[in-house]
Structure 1
């Protein structure tokens, strides 16, 4: 057997291992926890009770403030690492028997999700080592300014925005079309509990799509105005929602939706289908 064949065979064995399944379940639990904390912070802000970053940075800093916070952050980082491994296996091992377009579509999705998990894991690692919210909060504006300074900078920033908008459409469509059903086993899709799980998924995916649609809109706006201060991540996007008429109600609704997404991920961890 060639080296390439041996590597592929090892990857297939790892992909079908019970140990990886267990790790994915744990990773999904902590992924859900991050979303639930973001939802809680968003609800608190919509009620005017506190001000925190409404993204994974804010959620991780919130977790760090509680008892055993450092231990939880280490577990978050470890869980995200397992999820990155899972997506890497999807990228290089799975979907080989599909049509070319389907295969590359699934690979692109796996790569995007892997990068998202890696970002959360790296953030958990930096927070537990004492990274500051203020420093991380300037990241989006800083690299947007660097992109805008390039000859084709506005087009690059607009491309980033369109990427977020495409992700938002995919997330919302996944919820509305019921495609999130495939993430649950047959047991997880049936009965009263299954109906509840799927409803949580529908609301959660649509809410996350709306949130990231606003993120994409901010980047497109920054590109059109050549102003990096108008760009931003999830935190800035939800802060803009709060500034609109009926903003607290809108932010509260999106926060509830993100909480539903977190609860669906918990159901997915219990009834994992992959």
Structure 2
């Protein structure tokens, strides 16, 4: 048996495990909790209430301070780890006969796994009693990149890549492509879940896309402090014309994406 066959067999075995599928579904639940908290923080910022950082770090900080928060953080770590492994397994067993599509799907699965691992690593930091400042991390990353030869070009590429991810979220929401991976019930329940998914994907795409634009601005202005994560992106929306309304709508959309994640935990094809 070659290495590829062995990896495929291992991935398939993981996907067939009931316990592993349960952990992966828990991962979707914790993603829902995080997005609802981020949405609530964003709405709080829109109405002038502060509320902390409107990103995964801010949401995890609130969980850390809650009763039994540390226990929940460990559940989040395990759930996101299971989701990441699930996505990696999907990449390994991908068998689309079209080789271009196959590698495109694999890239998507691996990129999603990397995102889950990054959030899980942040949750682990909080579970161990630490804290994380995503905006400062983004600025430090931008400063290091700008310091290397062709750093401006590299940072622009990073920013455009993040913008592309945001656009992909928006397109996925508008086209309802996310529904293909769900075994949805018929009737009003299906319509409601799809509506939450559309609103959530579009809102998340806007937030991620703005974060990418901030990286590009940091590159063009040679100012790493212009860069920022999700929190900085959401706060920058407040400075636009009708920004408070836009930020409120995006925050509500992120909260709806969290509700959609709960439905995804129940109806995801696994």
Per-residue CA deviations over 1:160-217 (Å, capped at 9, x if unaligned) read 1111111111110111011011132042xx2101100000000100111111110111
Compute the TM-score of the two structures, normalised by the length of structure 2: 0.95
Per-residue CA deviations over 1:137-164 (Å, capped at 9, x if unaligned) read 4110001000001111011100111111
Runs of at least 4 residues of structure 1 off by over 3 A? 1-4
Task: Please state whether the residue corresponding to 1:138 is helix, strand or coil.
Answer: helix
Partner residue in 1 for 2:110: 111
After TM superposition, give the deviation of residue 4 of structure 1 in Å.
Answer: 4.4
Partner residue in 2 for 1:12: 12
Distance 1:87 1:121 in 2: 14
Matches within 5 A, 1:194-273: 194-273=190-269
Matches within 5 A, 1:1-274: 1-2=1-2, 4-93=4-93, 95-133=94-132, 135-187=133-185, 190-274=186-270
Aligned alpha-carbon RMSD (Å):
1.4
Distance 1:132 1:124 in 2: 9
Compute the TM-score of the two structures, normalised by the length of structure 1: 0.94
After TM superposition, give the deviation of residue 3 of structure 1 in Å.
Answer: 5.2
Distance 1:115 1:236 in 2: 21
Distance 1:98 1:222 in 2: 42
After TM superposition, give the deviation of residue 272 of structure 1 in Å.
Answer: 1.6
After TM superposition, give the deviation of residue 2 of structure 1 in Å.
Answer: 4.1
Distance 1:165 1:108 in 2: 17
Specify every segment of 5 or more residues in structure 2 that has no aligned partner in the other structure, as ranges. none
Distance 2:184 2:234 in 1: 35
Aligned length in residues: 270
Distance 1:140 1:229 in 2: 9
After TM superposition, give the deviation of residue 267 of structure 1 in Å.
Answer: 0.5
Asked if the contact 2:135–2:228 (Cα under 8 Å) also holds between the matched residues in 1, the reply is: no
Per-residue CA deviations over 1:10-54 (Å, capped at 9, x if unaligned) read 221222332222111111000111101101111111111223111
Distance 1:87 1:3 in 2: 19
159 and 38 in structure 1: CA distance in 2 versus 1, 3 angstrom threshold:
same
Specify every segment of 5 or more residues in structure 1 that has no aligned partner in the other structure, as ranges. none
Distance 1:4 1:45 in 2: 49
180 and 3 in structure 1: CA distance in 2 versus 1, 3 angstrom threshold:
closer
Distance 1:199 1:8 in 2: 36
Asked if the contact 2:218–2:224 (Cα under 8 Å) also holds between the matched residues in 1, the reply is: yes
